[in-house]
């Protein structure tokens, strides 16, 4: 993408934000007008070369893009089979892909003259990315985070506070990401006049799924060009983990018109049959939550179920509506990795390549290693290494110390 060009929007939803039967604007009446204003502001900004000039400048000089594409030769050799290549989103400023989106939405907030931003966060990466751009743009920032997540991702809570953001622990419901989203929506219903809600994933009412996808598409656009430049060809398979689906849409959207298999890896938690997982596409059904119609983990009466994953960032009972659409259209394949497989992948990448991945990204890696082992050496598996594992040090340590004492004969 050259600085002055306006990137085309392909595979757009219909005017109401529907991807087939999914998506839409299932929002309270109070939010319909603010959503219409946001939609107008987004499309106006997207047509404005100055917006892209500012965005690209920040992505390059502030975020550190383009991020490298790395051929993990040690890991590939160890696994045996196909080549594993990593898109290194872990090397962005703040340590995860989330900042691609918060730069875009932060710029929009400035254009719309909103002095305050709010966000929901699970693992804390989106909260940190929002707090970061709020500090840089001079915006007041409140971040909603489930009480349980503030405990298991404590370092990120402190980072947000250092960045000047106010972290609001959420105790309602299951006290995780979905409840943080509920409370952020409740805040926005009352504050939409002066507040911009920076949603952190490709879900929520239109235009969020489209907008967040467009801001993250830089991942796949870069990776596509880098594959051609470094390997001389496109990958056979592209893999990303899916909670809400932002890093997955970022990597996969620019590859969807190519002859590349697209794989979404969901968190299988304690196992897909355990009832303790977060695999909305594999085990959910279509319903309405958080402003869109999509696959949800719910009971037969539509009550949203609690989820479990070792990674807070994947611990969400829904999924972006466009992923639901791509899955039903047959363009997206599903895979799953459970807590143990993700932990195993976490260690193997760390030991073989000296790269400590986020637990979220470790799910994608686990599925990639499984697939690569069955493929030929000339084939390529591209993995989105969506974030780094610094935030997970404490929870991995705690878990392994506990496991060590229990499991040692």
Q: Is position 245 an interface residue for another protein (rule: CB under 8 A)?
A: no
Angle (CA) 93-96-102 rounded to 5° is 75
Among the listed ranges 129-137, 223-231, 263-271, 281-289, the one in contact with another protein (CB under 8 A) is 281-289
Which residue among the candidates 25, 89, 114, 120 is catalytic per the annotation?
Answer: 120
Token duo for residue 337: 């990795």
Residue 287 touching another protein (CB under 8 A): yes
156: left (phi over 0), alpha (psi -120 to 50) or beta: alpha
Instruction: Please identify, using beta-carbon distances, which residue of 1 and 276 lies nearer to another protein.
Output: 276
Q: Is 120 a catalytic residue?
A: yes
Among 71, 288, 333, 344, binds another protein (CB under 8 A): 288
Site for another protein contains 182 (CB under 8 A):
yes
Q: From residue 35, give the alpha-carbon distance in Å to each of 77, 142, 318.
A: 49, 20, 21
Closest approach, Cβ 33 to another protein, in A, equals 4
Determine which residue in the list 55, 65, 98, 178 makes contact with another protein, applying CB under 8 A: 178
Instruction: Return the range that interacts with another protein (CB under 8 A); candidates 152-160, 232-240, 257-265, 295-303.
Output: 295-303
Angle formed at CA 313 by CA 58 and CA 43, multiple of 5 degrees? 40
Q: Which two tokens stand for residue 293?
A: 């119609």
Q: What angle do CA 169, 173, 175 make, to 5 degrees?
A: 35
Task: Tell me the C-alpha distance between 109 and 102, whole Å.
Answer: 10
Nearest approach in angstroms of CB 114 to another protein is 15
Does residue 24 interact with another protein by CB under 8 A?
A: yes
Given the complex with another protein, which of 185 and 382 has the nearer CB atom? 185
Here the tokens at position 47 are 């047509």
Which of positions 27-46 make contact with another protein (CB under 8 A)? 27-34
Of the candidate residues 293, 342, 367, 375, the single one contacting another protein (CB under 8 A): 293
Residue 25 within binding range of another protein, rule CB under 8 A:
yes
Tell me, yes or no, if 386 is annotated catalytic: yes
- Which is the catalytic residue, given 98, 114, 178, 391? 98
Burial of residue 210, with CB atoms counted within 10 A of its CB: 0-12 exposed, 13-18 middle, 19 or more buried: buried
Q: Site for another protein (CB under 8 A): which residue of 120, 142, 148, 179?
A: 179
Q: How many helices (H) and strands (E) does the chain have?
A: 15, 14
Residue 189 binds another protein (CB under 8 A)? yes
Applying CB under 8 A, the span of 69-77, 101-109, 176-184, 256-264 interacting with another protein comes to 176-184
**DSSP string for 346-376:** HHHHHHHHS--B-HHHHHHHHHHHHHHHTS-
Among 61, 172, 230, 401, binds another protein (CB under 8 A): 172
| Residues 187, 192: Cα–Cα separation, whole Å | 8
Of the residues 116, 173, 234, 270, which one makes contact with another protein according to CB under 8 A: 173
Among 291, 313, 387, 389, binds another protein (CB under 8 A): 291
Cβ atoms of 176 and 7 within 8 Å: the answer is: no
Give the number of other Cβ atoms within 10 Å of residue 321's Cβ.
32
User: What is the 3-class SS of 224-291, one letter each residue?
Assistant: HHHHHHHCCCCCCEEEEEECCCHHHHHHHHHHCCCCCEEEEEEEEECCCCCCCCCCHHHHCEEEEECE
Q: Nearer to another protein by C-beta: 43 or 137?
A: 43
* Cα gap 153→120, rounded to integer Å: 14
> Is 229 a binder of another protein (CB under 8 A)?
no
CB of 142 to another protein, least distance (A): 16
Rule CB under 8 A: is residue 329 a binding residue for another protein? no
Is 39 a residue of the active site?
no
**Active centre residues (catalytic):** 98, 120, 386
Which residues sit at the interface with another protein, rule CB under 8 A?
16, 24-34, 172-173, 178-179, 182, 185-186, 189-190, 192-193, 286-291, 293, 296, 298, 300-304
């Amino acid at each position: 993408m050259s600085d002055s060009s306006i990137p085309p929007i392909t595979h757009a939803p219909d005017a109401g934000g529907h991807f087939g039967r999914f998506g839409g604007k299932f929002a309270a009446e109070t939010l319909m007008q603010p959503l219409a204003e946001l939609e107008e502001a987004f499309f106006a900004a997207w047509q404005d070369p100055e917006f892209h000039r500012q965005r690209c400048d920040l992505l390059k000089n502030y975020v550190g893009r383009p991020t490298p594409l790395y051929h993990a030769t040690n890991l590939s050799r160890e696994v045996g089979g196909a080549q594993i290549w990593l898109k290194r989103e872990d090397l962005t400023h703040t340590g995860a892909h989330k900042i691609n989106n918060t730069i875009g939405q932060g710029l929009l907030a400035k254009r719309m003259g909103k002095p305050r931003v709010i966000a929901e966060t699970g693992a804390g990466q989106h909260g940190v990315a929002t707090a970061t751009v709020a500090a840089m743009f001079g915006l007041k920032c409140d971040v909603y985070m489930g009480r349980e997540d503030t405990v298991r991702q404590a370092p990120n809570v402190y980072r947000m506070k250092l960045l000047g953001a106010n972290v609001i622990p959420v105790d309602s419901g299951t006290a995780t990401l979905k409840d943080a989203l509920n409370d952020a929506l409740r805040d926005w219903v009352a504050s939409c006049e002066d507040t911009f809600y920076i949603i952190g994933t490709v879900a929520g009412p239109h235009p969020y799924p489209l907008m967040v996808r467009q801001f993250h598409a830089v991942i796949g656009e870069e990776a596509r060009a880098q594959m051609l430049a470094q390997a001389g060809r496109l990958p056979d398979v592209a893999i990303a983990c899916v909670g809400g689906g932002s890093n997955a849409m970022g990597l996969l959207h620019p590859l969807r018109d190519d002859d590349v298999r697209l794989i979404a890896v969901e968190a299988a938690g304690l196992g897909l049959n355990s009832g303790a997982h977060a695999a909305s596409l594999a085990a959910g059904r279509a319903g309405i939550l958080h402003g869109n119609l999509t696959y949800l983990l719910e009971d037969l009466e539509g009550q949203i179920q609690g989820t479990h994953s070792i990674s807070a960032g994947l611990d969400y009972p829904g999924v972006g509506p466009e992923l639901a659409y791509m899955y039903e259209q047959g363009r997206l394949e599903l895979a799953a990795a459970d807590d143990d497989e993700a932990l195993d992948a976490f260690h193997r990448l760390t030991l073989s390549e000296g790269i400590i991945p986020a637990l979220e990204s470790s799910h994608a890696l686990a599925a990639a290693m499984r697939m690569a082992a069955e493929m030929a050496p000339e084939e390529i598996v591209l993995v989105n290494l969506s974030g780094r594992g610094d935030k997970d040090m404490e929870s991995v340590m705690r878990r392994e110390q506990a496991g060590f004492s229990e499991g040692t004969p």
